[in-house]
Amino acid sequence: MERRAYYKNGGLPWLLIAPQLILVLVFFYWPTTQALYWAFTLEQPWGGGNTWVGFANFLGIFRDGQYWAMVGRSAFYAIATTAISMVIALTLAAFVDRSLKGTKLFQSVFVWPYAIAAPAAGVAFRFIFSPDAGLVGAINQIWPGLWNPAINGAHALAMVIVCHAWLGIGYNFIFFLAALQMIPRSLSEAGAMDGARPFRRMMDLQLPLITPTVFFLIIMNLISSFTDSFGLIDVMTEGGPIGSTEVMVYNIYVDGFKGLDYSGAAAQSIVLMLLVIALTFVQFKWVEKRVHYN
């Protein structure tokens, strides 16, 4: 859309946008450039500055079998979280969209997880899933030792995934509900005239019509699962037991701040950054073009 009404005012627009531009340059572009610089250089042990090492840092992490195991784990984490969260949110939104009596109450509660800090939810879920307290630990009273996320890596990962998925329900629910409510009512009515029952209409009409939202949310959820998991993991497992819940973001933190391996951490940052950029690109190019219903 082209506007025609503009203000003419030499310096004013620059003055207005300058604060944000400066912040963006200082806190986004400069660090990103720095990360690139570090990723391709190595700091000399006796303060001799950085030397150019090309792709050595990348090769270093790529040759490490543990790194790939962690990438695989991160991918599994992201996909599982996204799937669980979206399926639950979509189901709830589909039923809320029927606007039965009292759904307003359900609707407002379903949004709540959006408001919760990941570490706070992490603490709550850690208690719920604790082997010797809370709720799930009750299993251990029947079959001692069956459930223990403190020792069993799979259990720990499952626990973190469930918590992350729970946190995403609110956000996904809002978008699904909005998309469903955007579908013209007359379409459902036409479906009813064609003899389709409510469940049938949900499957044949509503779901196909919200595919753009589904794709949008898949990407958003994947990005968030790849990047937002730090707080959760730090509070729930600190990456343990024995690294079984260590994902890319957490590893960057550990290598960078605990191991002080800036070059390695920077290289990992760049990999993660490229991943996010690729996902965003898919979101912009592919999804926007392929999925359109009007």
Residues 27 to 66 in contact with other proteins, rule: CB under 8 A = 27-32, 34-35, 38
Among positions 43, 53, 56, 134, the unique one binding other proteins when judged by CB under 8 A: 134
Is 121 a residue that touches other proteins (CB under 8 A)? yes
89 to 118, contacts with other proteins by CB under 8 A? 91-92, 95-96, 98-100, 103, 106, 108-118
Residue among 19 and 65 whose Cβ is closer to other proteins: 19
* Token pair belonging to 57: 């840092």
Is 4 a residue that touches other proteins (CB under 8 A)? yes
Give 43's DSSP letter: E
Which residue stretch of 11-19, 53-61, 68-76, 151-159 sits at the interface with other proteins (rule: CB under 8 A)?
11-19
Q: 249-278 mask for other proteins (x: CB under 8 A)?
A: x--xx--xx----x--xx--x--xx--xx-
Residue among 65 and 245 whose Cβ is closer to other proteins: 245
| Upper half-sphere CA count for residue 156 (Cβ side, 13 Å) | 22
- Return d(Cα 69, Cα 246) in angstroms, integer: 10
> Reduced to 3 states, what is the DSSP secondary structure of residue 140?
helix
Among positions 135, 154, 203, 242, the unique one binding other proteins when judged by CB under 8 A: 135
- Return d(Cα 171, Cα 225) in angstroms, integer: 13
Among positions 50, 151, 234, 282, the unique one binding other proteins when judged by CB under 8 A: 234
Which amino acid is residue 204, in one-letter code?
A: D
- Return d(Cα 108, Cα 92) in angstroms, integer: 12
> Reduced to 3 states, what is the DSSP secondary structure of residue 154?
helix
Which residue stretch of 52-60, 68-76, 151-159, 191-199 sits at the interface with other proteins (rule: CB under 8 A)?
191-199
Q: Do 264 and 60 contact (CB within 8 A), yes or no?
A: yes
- Return d(Cα 145, Cα 151) in angstroms, integer: 10
Q: Cβ atoms within 10 A of the Cβ of 97, count?
A: 21
Residue among 65 and 95 whose Cβ is closer to other proteins: 95
CB of 204 to other proteins, least distance (A): 14
Is 119 a residue that touches other proteins (CB under 8 A)? yes
CB of 272 to other proteins, least distance (A): 5
CB of 244 to other proteins, least distance (A): 17
Residue among 188 and 244 whose Cβ is closer to other proteins: 188
CB of 20 to other proteins, least distance (A): 4
Residue among 26 and 65 whose Cβ is closer to other proteins: 26
Among positions 41, 147, 223, 246, the unique one binding other proteins when judged by CB under 8 A: 223
Q: Do 251 and 71 contact (CB within 8 A), yes or no?
A: no
Is 145 a residue that touches other proteins (CB under 8 A)? no
Residue among 77 and 262 whose Cβ is closer to other proteins: 262
* Token pair belonging to 218: 């898949």
- Return d(Cα 151, Cα 242) in angstroms, integer: 9
* Token pair belonging to 280: 């965003």
In 3D space, the residue among 147, 144, 117 whose CA is nearest the CA of residue 135 turns out to be 147
* Token pair belonging to 278: 């690729």
Which amino acid is residue 6, in one-letter code?
A: Y
Is 176 a residue that touches other proteins (CB under 8 A)? no
